[in-house]
Amino acid sequence: MRNNKVDPENVDQKLFEIFRSVGYDGASMESLSQATGLKKASLYHRFPNGKQEMAQHVLKNVEQWINDNIVTVLADKAISPSIRLKKAISSLGKLYNNGANNCLLRTLSIGPDAGIFKETVTHCFNLITQSFTELLIEAGLPGSEAKKKANLINPLLQGALVLSGATGDNSHFENCLDNIGQFLQTTN
Amino acid sequence: MRNNKVDPENVDQKLFEIFRSVGYDGASMESLSQATGLKKASLYHRFPNGKQEMAQHVLKNVEQWINDNIVTVLADKAISPSIRLKKAISSLGKLYNNGANNCLLRTLSIGPDAGIFKETVTHCFNLITQSFTELLIEAGLPGSEAKKKANLINPLLQGALVLSGATGDNSHFENCLDNIGQFLQTTN
DNA sequence: ATTTATTTACCGAACGTTCGGTAAATAATA
DNA sequence: TATTATTTACCGAACGTTCGGTAAATAAAT
Protein backbone atom coordinates (compact mmCIF):
# COMPACT_ATOMS: atom_id res chain seq x y z
CA MET A 1 0.00 0.00 0.00
CA ARG A 2 1.05 3.53 -0.71
CA ASN A 3 1.20 6.59 1.48
CA ASN A 4 -1.03 9.58 0.95
CA LYS A 5 0.34 12.25 -1.29
CA VAL A 6 2.75 14.44 0.61
CA ASP A 7 2.06 18.15 0.77
CA PRO A 8 4.62 19.86 -1.48
CA GLU A 9 4.92 22.90 0.78
CA ASN A 10 5.64 20.71 3.72
CA VAL A 11 8.30 18.96 1.65
CA ASP A 12 9.87 22.31 0.85
CA GLN A 13 9.82 23.24 4.51
CA LYS A 14 11.42 19.97 5.62
CA LEU A 15 14.11 20.14 2.95
CA PHE A 16 14.82 23.69 4.05
CA GLU A 17 15.15 22.66 7.67
CA ILE A 18 17.63 19.92 6.89
CA PHE A 19 19.87 21.98 4.63
CA ARG A 20 19.73 24.91 7.02
CA SER A 21 20.60 22.88 10.09
CA VAL A 22 23.40 20.65 8.76
CA GLY A 23 24.51 22.27 5.50
CA TYR A 24 24.84 20.77 2.04
CA ASP A 25 27.46 18.11 2.76
CA GLY A 26 25.82 17.18 6.04
CA ALA A 27 22.47 16.58 4.36
CA SER A 28 22.29 12.99 3.09
CA MET A 29 19.59 11.71 0.75
CA GLU A 30 18.57 9.37 3.54
CA SER A 31 18.05 12.22 6.00
CA LEU A 32 16.16 14.24 3.39
CA SER A 33 13.97 11.20 2.68
CA GLN A 34 13.21 10.62 6.34
CA ALA A 35 12.47 14.27 7.02
CA THR A 36 10.06 14.64 4.11
CA GLY A 37 8.46 11.21 4.36
CA LEU A 38 9.24 10.60 0.70
CA LYS A 39 11.40 7.72 -0.45
CA LYS A 40 14.59 8.65 -2.21
CA ALA A 41 13.19 7.76 -5.63
CA SER A 42 10.20 10.00 -4.97
CA LEU A 43 12.50 12.87 -4.23
CA TYR A 44 14.17 12.21 -7.57
CA HIS A 45 10.76 12.30 -9.21
CA ARG A 46 10.21 15.81 -7.84
CA PHE A 47 13.82 16.94 -8.21
CA PRO A 48 15.33 15.07 -11.18
CA ASN A 49 18.72 16.66 -10.59
CA GLY A 50 18.82 15.38 -7.04
CA LYS A 51 20.39 16.97 -4.04
CA GLN A 52 21.75 19.94 -5.93
CA GLU A 53 18.33 20.81 -7.27
CA MET A 54 16.74 20.46 -3.84
CA ALA A 55 19.26 22.82 -2.30
CA GLN A 56 18.86 25.33 -5.13
CA HIS A 57 15.09 25.06 -4.71
CA VAL A 58 15.11 25.85 -1.00
CA LEU A 59 17.62 28.63 -1.67
CA LYS A 60 15.20 30.14 -4.20
CA ASN A 61 12.48 29.91 -1.56
CA VAL A 62 14.68 31.91 0.78
CA GLU A 63 15.18 34.51 -1.92
CA GLN A 64 11.40 34.69 -2.25
CA TRP A 65 11.03 34.98 1.52
CA ILE A 66 13.41 37.93 1.52
CA ASN A 67 11.43 39.63 -1.22
CA ASP A 68 8.17 39.06 0.65
CA ASN A 69 9.29 39.85 4.19
CA ILE A 70 12.10 42.37 3.77
CA VAL A 71 12.14 44.05 0.38
CA THR A 72 8.39 44.50 0.02
CA VAL A 73 7.85 45.40 3.67
CA LEU A 74 10.62 48.00 3.80
CA ALA A 75 9.39 49.62 0.58
CA ASP A 76 5.75 49.90 1.65
CA LYS A 77 5.26 53.66 1.78
CA ALA A 78 1.78 53.33 3.28
CA ILE A 79 3.48 52.65 6.63
CA SER A 80 5.94 54.76 8.59
CA PRO A 81 9.62 53.81 8.17
CA SER A 82 10.12 52.95 11.84
CA ILE A 83 7.19 50.52 11.84
CA ARG A 84 8.38 48.91 8.61
CA LEU A 85 11.74 48.46 10.31
CA LYS A 86 10.14 46.76 13.27
CA LYS A 87 8.16 44.44 11.03
CA ALA A 88 11.23 43.42 9.05
CA ILE A 89 13.35 42.85 12.14
CA SER A 90 10.56 40.91 13.78
CA SER A 91 10.35 38.65 10.73
CA LEU A 92 14.07 38.00 10.90
CA GLY A 93 13.72 37.05 14.55
CA LYS A 94 11.05 34.51 13.67
CA LEU A 95 12.95 33.14 10.68
CA TYR A 96 16.00 32.44 12.81
CA ASN A 97 13.95 31.32 15.81
CA ASN A 98 15.69 33.94 17.97
CA GLY A 99 19.09 32.59 17.12
CA ALA A 100 18.36 28.89 17.48
CA ASN A 101 18.21 28.37 13.71
CA ASN A 102 21.15 28.53 11.38
CA CYS A 103 20.99 30.62 8.23
CA LEU A 104 20.74 28.69 4.97
CA LEU A 105 22.78 31.34 3.14
CA ARG A 106 25.62 30.55 5.48
CA THR A 107 25.35 26.76 5.63
CA LEU A 108 25.24 26.57 1.82
CA SER A 109 28.39 28.69 1.63
CA ILE A 110 30.69 26.02 3.05
CA GLY A 111 32.02 22.91 1.36
CA PRO A 112 33.40 21.66 -1.94
CA ASP A 113 30.19 22.54 -3.82
CA ALA A 114 29.62 25.98 -2.30
CA GLY A 115 30.32 27.62 -5.65
CA ILE A 116 27.04 26.30 -7.07
CA PHE A 117 25.06 28.55 -4.74
CA LYS A 118 27.37 31.54 -4.56
CA GLU A 119 25.57 33.72 -7.08
CA THR A 120 22.13 33.34 -5.52
CA VAL A 121 23.49 33.68 -2.00
CA THR A 122 25.25 36.92 -2.93
CA HIS A 123 22.07 38.21 -4.52
CA CYS A 124 20.10 37.45 -1.35
CA PHE A 125 22.57 39.41 0.75
CA ASN A 126 22.44 42.29 -1.74
CA LEU A 127 18.65 42.39 -1.64
CA ILE A 128 18.75 42.92 2.10
CA THR A 129 21.46 45.58 1.99
CA GLN A 130 19.76 47.49 -0.81
CA SER A 131 16.30 47.53 0.71
CA PHE A 132 17.64 48.75 4.06
CA THR A 133 19.71 51.40 2.28
CA GLU A 134 16.65 52.74 0.49
CA LEU A 135 14.64 52.86 3.68
CA LEU A 136 17.35 54.81 5.48
CA ILE A 137 17.61 57.26 2.63
CA GLU A 138 13.85 57.69 2.66
CA ALA A 139 14.06 58.31 6.41
CA GLY A 140 16.40 61.21 5.83
CA LEU A 141 19.94 59.86 5.98
CA PRO A 142 22.49 60.98 3.41
CA GLY A 143 23.12 58.29 0.82
CA SER A 144 26.66 57.50 1.90
CA GLU A 145 25.71 57.14 5.55
CA ALA A 146 22.63 55.08 4.72
CA LYS A 147 24.77 52.73 2.66
CA LYS A 148 27.35 52.45 5.38
CA LYS A 149 24.80 51.54 8.02
CA ALA A 150 22.89 49.15 5.78
CA ASN A 151 26.12 47.40 4.93
CA LEU A 152 26.48 46.40 8.57
CA ILE A 153 23.18 44.57 8.82
CA ASN A 154 24.13 41.32 7.11
CA PRO A 155 27.46 40.85 8.91
CA LEU A 156 25.90 41.76 12.24
CA LEU A 157 23.14 39.21 11.72
CA GLN A 158 25.43 36.48 10.43
CA GLY A 159 27.98 37.04 13.16
CA ALA A 160 25.36 36.79 15.86
CA LEU A 161 23.97 33.63 14.26
CA VAL A 162 27.42 32.05 14.11
CA LEU A 163 28.00 32.73 17.79
CA SER A 164 24.53 31.63 18.90
CA GLY A 165 24.72 28.51 16.77
CA ALA A 166 28.25 27.53 17.76
CA THR A 167 27.84 28.07 21.49
CA GLY A 168 24.12 27.40 21.94
CA ASP A 169 23.73 30.74 23.70
CA ASN A 170 21.04 32.71 21.86
CA SER A 171 21.68 35.91 23.79
CA HIS A 172 24.18 36.80 21.05
CA PHE A 173 21.40 36.93 18.52
CA GLU A 174 18.86 38.66 20.72
CA ASN A 175 21.34 41.40 21.60
CA CYS A 176 22.13 41.75 17.92
CA LEU A 177 18.51 42.38 16.92
CA ASP A 178 18.23 44.98 19.67
CA ASN A 179 21.41 46.69 18.52
CA ILE A 180 20.29 46.75 14.91
CA GLY A 181 16.93 48.19 15.89
CA GLN A 182 18.61 50.91 17.91
CA PHE A 183 21.32 52.01 15.57
CA LEU A 184 18.91 52.22 12.65
CA GLN A 185 16.54 54.38 14.69
CA THR A 186 17.37 57.56 12.81
CA THR A 187 13.80 57.56 11.75
CA ASN A 188 10.17 57.94 12.78
CA MET B 1 60.15 1.60 -1.51
CA ARG B 2 58.99 3.99 1.13
CA ASN B 3 58.60 7.77 1.04
CA ASN B 4 60.65 10.04 3.23
CA LYS B 5 59.23 10.85 6.61
CA VAL B 6 56.65 13.62 6.40
CA ASP B 7 57.02 16.71 8.52
CA PRO B 8 54.37 16.52 11.28
CA GLU B 9 53.98 20.29 11.51
CA ASN B 10 53.28 20.50 7.83
CA VAL B 11 50.67 17.76 8.17
CA ASP B 12 48.93 19.76 10.88
CA GLN B 13 48.93 22.81 8.65
CA LYS B 14 47.47 20.94 5.67
CA LEU B 15 44.79 19.25 7.74
CA PHE B 16 43.90 22.63 9.18
CA GLU B 17 43.58 24.17 5.73
CA ILE B 18 41.25 21.45 4.49
CA PHE B 19 38.93 21.47 7.50
CA ARG B 20 38.89 25.24 7.56
CA SER B 21 38.09 25.63 3.89
CA VAL B 22 35.42 22.96 3.41
CA GLY B 23 34.25 22.03 6.93
CA TYR B 24 34.06 18.64 8.60
CA ASP B 25 31.58 16.94 6.27
CA GLY B 26 33.21 18.46 3.23
CA ALA B 27 36.62 17.07 4.17
CA SER B 28 36.99 13.54 2.78
CA MET B 29 39.74 11.18 3.86
CA GLU B 30 40.87 11.19 0.25
CA SER B 31 41.25 14.98 0.23
CA LEU B 32 43.03 14.91 3.58
CA SER B 33 45.35 12.22 2.24
CA GLN B 34 46.17 14.16 -0.90
CA ALA B 35 46.73 17.43 0.95
CA THR B 36 49.10 15.94 3.50
CA GLY B 37 50.88 13.54 1.18
CA LEU B 38 50.13 10.70 3.57
CA LYS B 39 48.10 7.72 2.50
CA LYS B 40 44.87 7.13 4.36
CA ALA B 41 46.33 4.29 6.37
CA SER B 42 49.21 6.52 7.45
CA LEU B 43 46.77 9.13 8.67
CA TYR B 44 45.20 6.40 10.80
CA HIS B 45 48.62 5.60 12.21
CA ARG B 46 48.95 9.19 13.42
CA PHE B 47 45.30 9.64 14.33
CA PRO B 48 43.93 6.24 15.39
CA ASN B 49 40.44 7.67 15.85
CA GLY B 50 40.36 8.93 12.31
CA LYS B 51 38.72 12.00 10.94
CA GLN B 52 37.23 13.05 14.27
CA GLU B 53 40.62 13.01 15.95
CA MET B 54 42.19 14.99 13.12
CA ALA B 55 39.55 17.70 13.38
CA GLN B 56 39.87 17.83 17.16
CA HIS B 57 43.63 18.05 16.78
CA VAL B 58 43.54 21.04 14.42
CA LEU B 59 40.91 22.63 16.65
CA LYS B 60 43.27 22.31 19.61
CA ASN B 61 45.98 23.94 17.51
CA VAL B 62 43.65 26.87 16.93
CA GLU B 63 43.06 27.12 20.66
CA GLN B 64 46.83 27.25 21.10
CA TRP B 65 47.11 29.89 18.39
CA ILE B 66 44.59 32.04 20.23
CA ASN B 67 46.53 31.70 23.46
CA ASP B 68 49.78 32.62 21.74
CA ASN B 69 48.58 35.43 19.47
CA ILE B 70 45.66 36.96 21.34
CA VAL B 71 45.57 36.08 25.03
CA THR B 72 49.31 36.39 25.67
CA VAL B 73 49.74 39.43 23.44
CA LEU B 74 46.85 41.39 24.94
CA ALA B 75 48.03 40.64 28.47
CA ASP B 76 51.64 41.73 27.92
CA LYS B 77 51.94 44.74 30.22
CA ALA B 78 55.39 45.60 28.92
CA ILE B 79 53.69 47.12 25.87
CA SER B 80 51.10 49.88 25.66
CA PRO B 81 47.46 48.72 25.30
CA SER B 82 46.97 50.36 21.92
CA ILE B 83 50.01 48.63 20.43
CA ARG B 84 48.95 45.28 21.87
CA LEU B 85 45.61 45.84 20.20
CA LYS B 86 47.23 46.52 16.86
CA LYS B 87 49.36 43.39 17.16
CA ALA B 88 46.37 41.20 17.96
CA ILE B 89 44.25 42.62 15.19
CA SER B 90 47.11 42.30 12.74
CA SER B 91 47.48 38.63 13.66
CA LEU B 92 43.78 38.06 13.04
CA GLY B 93 44.12 39.68 9.63
CA LYS B 94 46.93 37.32 8.74
CA LEU B 95 45.15 34.25 10.11
CA TYR B 96 42.12 34.92 7.97
CA ASN B 97 44.17 36.09 4.99
CA ASN B 98 42.26 39.39 4.98
CA GLY B 99 38.93 37.63 4.68
CA ALA B 100 39.85 35.07 2.07
CA ASN B 101 40.10 32.26 4.63
CA ASN B 102 37.20 30.74 6.48
CA CYS B 103 37.29 30.34 10.24
CA LEU B 104 37.71 26.79 11.53
CA LEU B 105 35.56 27.56 14.57
CA ARG B 106 32.71 28.29 12.20
CA THR B 107 33.20 25.51 9.69
CA LEU B 108 33.36 22.93 12.48
CA SER B 109 30.11 24.28 13.92
CA ILE B 110 27.94 23.02 11.08
CA GLY B 111 26.83 19.47 10.36
CA PRO B 112 25.55 16.33 12.06
CA ASP B 113 28.73 15.97 14.16
CA ALA B 114 29.11 19.62 15.19
CA GLY B 115 28.35 18.71 18.80
CA ILE B 116 31.70 16.95 19.13
CA PHE B 117 33.53 20.28 18.80
CA LYS B 118 31.07 22.56 20.53
CA GLU B 119 32.80 22.73 23.90
CA THR B 120 36.23 23.60 22.53
CA VAL B 121 34.80 26.04 20.01
CA THR B 122 32.90 27.84 22.76
CA HIS B 123 36.04 27.98 24.87
CA CYS B 124 37.98 29.52 22.00
CA PHE B 125 35.40 32.24 21.58
CA ASN B 126 35.41 32.88 25.33
CA LEU B 127 39.20 33.21 25.39
CA ILE B 128 39.01 36.00 22.84
CA THR B 129 36.17 37.83 24.57
CA GLN B 130 37.81 37.61 27.97
CA SER B 131 41.23 38.78 26.90
CA PHE B 132 39.79 41.79 25.08
CA THR B 133 37.61 42.59 28.08
CA GLU B 134 40.63 42.64 30.39
CA LEU B 135 42.58 44.85 28.04
CA LEU B 136 39.75 47.37 27.84
CA ILE B 137 39.39 47.43 31.61
CA GLU B 138 43.14 47.97 31.93
CA ALA B 139 42.83 50.80 29.42
CA GLY B 140 40.35 52.57 31.69
CA LEU B 141 36.89 51.45 30.63
CA PRO B 142 34.33 50.55 33.28
CA GLY B 143 33.87 46.80 33.55
CA SER B 144 30.37 46.72 32.14
CA GLU B 145 31.28 48.79 29.12
CA ALA B 146 34.46 46.83 28.48
CA LYS B 147 32.48 43.62 28.55
CA LYS B 148 29.86 45.01 26.21
CA LYS B 149 32.43 46.12 23.66
CA ALA B 150 34.50 42.95 23.91
CA ASN B 151 31.36 40.90 23.39
CA LEU B 152 31.01 42.43 19.94
CA ILE B 153 34.38 41.33 18.63
CA ASN B 154 33.62 37.70 17.87
CA PRO B 155 30.29 38.32 16.13
CA LEU B 156 31.76 41.24 14.16
CA LEU B 157 34.64 39.09 12.97
CA GLN B 158 32.52 36.05 12.19
CA GLY B 159 29.90 38.09 10.40
CA ALA B 160 32.47 39.77 8.21
CA LEU B 161 34.05 36.39 7.45
CA VAL B 162 30.69 34.90 6.50
CA LEU B 163 30.01 37.75 4.09
CA SER B 164 33.49 37.78 2.60
CA GLY B 165 33.50 34.01 2.24
CA ALA B 166 30.02 33.73 0.79
CA THR B 167 30.34 36.55 -1.72
CA GLY B 168 34.07 36.50 -2.43
CA ASP B 169 34.27 40.21 -1.63
CA ASN B 170 36.88 40.68 1.08
CA SER B 171 36.06 44.33 1.64
CA HIS B 172 33.56 43.13 4.26
CA PHE B 173 36.39 41.75 6.33
CA GLU B 174 38.80 44.62 5.79
CA ASN B 175 36.18 47.16 6.83
CA CYS B 176 35.44 45.03 9.86
CA LEU B 177 39.03 45.05 11.09
CA ASP B 178 39.14 48.83 10.65
CA ASN B 179 35.90 49.26 12.55
CA ILE B 180 37.07 47.06 15.40
CA GLY B 181 40.34 48.95 15.62
CA GLN B 182 38.50 52.26 15.76
CA PHE B 183 35.76 51.47 18.19
CA LEU B 184 38.21 49.87 20.62
CA GLN B 185 40.43 52.95 20.47
CA THR B 186 39.49 54.17 23.94
CA THR B 187 43.09 53.73 24.81
CA ASN B 188 46.66 54.84 24.28
C1' DA C 1 -7.41 4.04 -19.88
C1' DT C 2 -3.89 7.06 -19.62
C1' DT C 3 -1.06 9.80 -16.90
C1' DT C 4 1.07 11.04 -12.68
C1' DA C 5 3.01 9.91 -8.20
C1' DT C 6 5.15 6.82 -5.23
C1' DT C 7 7.57 2.63 -3.99
C1' DT C 8 10.54 -1.42 -4.13
C1' DA C 9 14.69 -3.14 -5.36
C1' DC C 10 18.81 -2.32 -6.90
C1' DC C 11 23.34 -0.23 -8.78
C1' DG C 12 28.32 1.58 -9.05
C1' DA C 13 31.07 4.68 -6.65
C1' DA C 14 32.78 6.83 -2.75
C1' DC C 15 32.86 6.90 2.07
C1' DG C 16 35.55 6.19 6.55
C1' DT C 17 38.02 2.46 8.33
C1' DT C 18 40.94 -1.72 9.03
C1' DC C 19 44.41 -5.12 8.02
C1' DG C 20 48.71 -7.34 6.70
C1' DG C 21 52.99 -6.29 5.77
C1' DT C 22 57.51 -3.58 4.56
C1' DA C 23 61.45 -0.26 4.93
C1' DA C 24 63.79 2.58 8.03
C1' DA C 25 65.09 4.16 12.46
C1' DT C 26 66.09 3.12 17.21
C1' DA C 27 67.30 0.23 21.19
C1' DA C 28 69.31 -3.82 23.19
C1' DT C 29 72.56 -7.32 23.10
C1' DA C 30 76.89 -9.53 22.21
C1' DT D 1 81.38 -2.26 17.23
C1' DA D 2 78.72 -5.42 15.00
C1' DT D 3 74.54 -7.94 15.37
C1' DT D 4 70.00 -8.67 16.67
C1' DA D 5 65.44 -7.23 18.36
C1' DT D 6 61.98 -3.83 18.66
C1' DT D 7 59.54 0.09 17.42
C1' DT D 8 58.13 3.63 14.23
C1' DA D 9 56.34 5.33 9.92
C1' DC D 10 54.36 4.27 6.04
C1' DC D 11 51.68 1.94 2.25
C1' DG D 12 48.59 -1.24 -0.90
C1' DA D 13 44.61 -3.60 -0.75
C1' DA D 14 40.53 -4.57 0.96
C1' DC D 15 36.62 -4.10 4.37
C1' DG D 16 31.60 -3.08 5.32
C1' DT D 17 28.67 0.88 4.95
C1' DT D 18 26.61 4.71 2.99
C1' DC D 19 26.58 7.68 -0.75
C1' DG D 20 23.82 9.72 -4.71
C1' DG D 21 21.20 7.89 -8.30
C1' DT D 22 18.11 4.70 -11.53
C1' DA D 23 14.81 1.20 -13.66
C1' DA D 24 10.85 -1.28 -13.19
C1' DA D 25 6.68 -2.20 -10.74
C1' DT D 26 2.60 -0.52 -8.34
C1' DA D 27 -0.91 2.67 -6.78
C1' DA D 28 -3.64 6.99 -7.35
C1' DA D 29 -5.64 10.40 -9.88
C1' DT D 30 -7.80 12.17 -14.02
- ipTM score assigned to the predicted complex: 0.90
Structural domain includes residue B102: yes
Structural domain includes residue A75: yes
CATH code, A78: 1.10.357.10
Average pLDDT over residues A30-40: 91
- Write the DSSP symbol of residue A101: S
What is the tally of structural domains in chain A? 1
A38 contact to strand C (CB, 7 A limit): yes
Structural domain includes residue B131: yes
B41 contact to strand C (CB, 7 A limit): yes
* Domain, as residue range, for B142: 56-183
Structural domain includes residue A1: no
* Axis crossing angle, helix B171-183 with helix A143-167, rounded to the nearest 10: 90
How near does any CA of chain A get to the CA of B79, in Å?
A: 30
Structural domain includes residue A178: yes
A9 contact to strand C (CB, 7 A limit): no
Structural domain includes residue A49: no
Nucleotides on chain C that have an atom closer than 7 A to a protein CB are: 5-10, 14-20, 22-25
Nucleotides on chain D that have an atom closer than 7 A to a protein CB are: 9-14, 18-24, 26-29
Structural domain includes residue A72: yes
Cross-chain residue pair B111–A160, CB shorter than 8 Å: no
- pLDDT > 80? residue A5: no
Summarised one tens digit per residue, pLDDT across range B156-179 is 999 999 999 999 999 999 999 988
In angstroms, the Cα distances linking B158 to A35, A87, A154, A155, A164 are 30, 26, 11, 8, 11
**B10 pLDDT tier (thresholds 50, 70, 90):** confident
Q: Tell me how crowded residue A120 is: count the other CB atoms within 10 A of its CB.
A: 16
Write down the pTM of the prediction.
0.92
Summarised one tens digit per residue, pLDDT across range B98-119 is 999 999 999 999 999 999 999 9
Residue B112, SS3?
coil
Structural domain includes residue A42: no
